Chains A and B, each alone.
Chain A
Amino acid sequence: MRDLSVTFTTEGGIARVLDGIDLSLLQGEIMGLVGESGSGKTTLARSILGALPPNARLTGQTLRFDGRDLLTLGARAAAEQVRGRTITFVPQDPFSSFNPLFTVGDQLGELMRWKSPDRQPGERIYARARKRADRDRTLAMLRSVQLADPERLLTKYPHELSGGQRQRVMIAMALLPEPRLVIADEPTTAVDVTIQAQILKLLRKLATERGVSVLFTTHDLGAAWEICDRITVMYAGQALETAPVASFFREPMVPYTRLLLDSLPSRDAGLRGIAGDVPSLVAPPTGCRFHPRCPGASDVCRASHAVAVALAPEHWVRCHHPHREPVRA
């Protein structure tokens, strides 16, 4: 297997929702994209999918996926060969992502008709043999996401499923086309903790087994800790820190990351938040966008956003004044 790498630089429109992001993702890796609401993590996920709202403009140097530049690939080609096929999506809200008028089976069938790994590009006719193969594949997949009695499940309507079941079907749908990259946008926000634990477990297991890369966006640091290999912290459209999960939590270097970790409710830390609000993206602060809320901000921070430097192996930081000592022993 080749190493899969995605490197891209993007810039949003007038409201600069994403501001010069560099990110790379390796084959079979789970990358966590952590940030608060409004930090641009969903927009980033959508840019990769090519599913931005019509008022958005994507600019940047490169957005390479599996050796192909998605920025120069035409919209039709992207829709045909990439989106939903080699890159798939697990949405945040598993309810509104289903059409309530069709059964789960119909919707899975429709997906497989166009996105089945057996389908040749440009193929229009849905041959019976492929249909049968796809159905078997679907049932096997539903079983592997631990859904009991998949045959009966296929005849049900979305509202007849529970939240956890819907999310499992969503994961199955995302994995069925045998993609190289799954983008999971807050897949556990809408479900309870016990279900979240099950879903995360499943996602991790399937990704590892199949060698699929996962871009996992979340605001829940605990969930990120659970399944990610590496984590990137975003704030107001800027990526501030990227690190392997262990060093991310043990020795975070950017002040924002530290404050974010301190905000987690815990006995010894008590209640510590971050003062101030997320800035407006239309008129963001100059330089590093976190400087108005940062305790260690200086004139340099107001003037420019630091370039990314690796302060430890694989630990990239974009900050003028990173902490260098670990927080926990």
Chain B
Amino acid sequence: MSLLRRLLRDRSAVLGLVIITVLVLAALLAHPLATFPQDVTTYHLSNRLLPPGATFWFGTDRMGGDIYSRMLFGARLTILIAVVATSVSVLIGVPVGLVAGYCTNRVSDLLMRVSDVFLAVPQIVLAIAIAQTLGPAIQNVILALSLTYWPFWARLVYAETRSLRNEVFIEAAVALGASPLRVMVLHVLPSIASSLIVRTTIGMGGAILVAAALGFLGLGPPPPTPEWGRMIAESREFLPQAWWYATAPGVAILLVVMGFNLLGDGLRDALDPRLRRGGDGR
């Protein structure tokens, strides 16, 4: 309750929240909102590369499709990729980090070395390599993102768990006879939840950016799927004349990534345990 109030007091966080809400609404209501919903798959070569106007709000593309309508359906794809890829990364990274951080044995070392290997290669390069190998398809993009993204969560959870291990309340729970699983899930996890939420929010923005980059490189879902990165790639050859072609998806990506980052920063401030735990004055 007070968390929400604190969040709403932060102007940039509210801006982020608004952007993300608009994105979600656009994706959910793509059909009713779109002026030409059929343009996602059909061609109207006669309407090719028209500038923005009353009929085509954001102009048309090289196939004569309405960019505004395609953007809306692209939002669906963007959300799908971001949510699924980030969730998979969280589902892999958090348990790995917890186990590696909590236990001190060979297995935990091995887990962290594996994630180090992933982190050693720049994420985008690794994602490109995986997507290239698997071929252009939406599930491959998601897979490539998930596989390259989880070490970030593993690292975060690992570091936080390591410092929590020295906390007295964790030791007390162990002394009480709590099993490692119990300590990890019921004590460690809630304590690191806030930083996890922040990281995940910002991570969503990152996932969208990488997904768009893959699409731009032709490694995303194949045409005519309305993917934002691919739309920018297609616009390149018409760039000096058809400025609107690249503008709409470009601005959309910028806004969405910024939205997630702003919200993440706002959440970090709102969840800051130092503020919440205040008042134990001496």
Q: A281 — nearest CB in chain B belongs to which residue? A: B281
* Bound complex: CA A234 to CA B224 (Å): 79
A81 to chain B, nearest CB (A): 31
B282 — nearest CB in chain A belongs to which residue?
A: A37
Could you mark each residue 26-63 of chain A with 1 if its beta carbon is under 8 Å from any beta carbon of chain B, else 0? 00000000000110000000000000000000000000
Residue of A nearest to B281 (CB): A38
Q: Which residues of A are found within 8 Å of B281, using beta-carbon distances?
A: 38
Q: Which of B92-137 contact A (CB under 8 A)?
A: none
Report the minimum CB–CB distance from A173 to chain B (whole Å).
24
How would you classify the secondary structure of chain A's contact residues: helix, strand, loop or mixed? loop
Query: Which residues of chain A have C-beta atoms less than 8 A from B282's C-beta?
Result: 37-38
* Complex Cα–Cα for A37 and B282 (A): 6
A87 to B282, CA, bound (A): 24
CA–CA, A120 and B281, complex, Å: 40
Contact pattern, A 243-256, Cβ under 8 Å of B = 1, otherwise 0: 00000000000000
Contacts of A37 in B (CB 8 A): 282
CB distance from B164 to the nearest CB of A (A): 22
Report A302 CB to chain B, min CB distance, Å: 26
Q: List CB contacts (< 8 Å) of B244-282 with chain A.
A: 281-282
Determine the residue in chain B with the shortest Cβ distance to A37. Answer: B282
Whole-angstrom distance between the Cβ of A218 and the nearest chain B Cβ: 14
For residue A38, which residue of chain B has the nearest CB? B282
Q: How far is the CA of A38 from the CA of B279 in the complex (A)?
A: 12
* Closest CB in chain A relative to B201 CB, distance in Å: 32
Within 8 Å CB of A38, what residues of B? 281-282
- CB B154 to nearest CB in A, in angstroms, measures 31
Closest-CB distance, B126 to chain A (whole angstroms) = 38
In whole angstroms, what is the CA distance A38 to B282 when docked?
6
A37 to B281, CA, bound (A): 9
Q: From residue A279, how far is it (CB to closest CB) to chain B in Å?
A: 14
A40 CB to nearest B CB, Å: 11
| B242 smallest CB distance to A (angstroms) | 57
How many Å lie between the Cα of A38 and that of B281 in the bound state?
8
B279 to chain A, nearest CB (A): 11
> Can you list, as one digit per residue, whether each of B234-250 has a CB less than 8 Å from chain A (1) or not (0)?
00000000000000000
Nearest-Cβ distance from residue A35 to partner chain B, whole angstroms: 12
How far apart are the CA atoms of A222 and B132 in the complex, in Å?
Answer: 77
CA distance A68 to B281 in the complex (A): 33
A107 to chain B, nearest CB (A): 26
Write out, one digit per residue, whether chain A residues 144-170 have a CB within 8 A of any chain B CB (1) or not (0).
000000000000000000000000000
Report the separation of the CA atoms of residues A303 and B282 in the bound assembly, to the nearest whole angstrom.
28
- State the CA gap A312–B282 with chains docked (Å): 34
Interface residues of B in 32-76 (CB under 8 A from A): none
Nearest Cβ distance between residue B72 and chain A, in whole angstroms? 50
In whole angstroms, how far apart are the Cα atoms of A38 and B280 in the complex?
11
B278 to chain A, nearest CB (A): 12
Assembly CA distance A173 to B281 (angstroms): 28
Interface residues in A213-230 by Cβ distance below 8 A to B read none
Q: Which 3 A-B residue pairings sit nearest by Cβ, starting from the closest?
A: A37-B282, A38-B282, A38-B281
A interface, CB within 8 angstroms of B: 37-38
3 interchain pairs (CB within 8 A)?
A37-B282, A38-B281, A38-B282
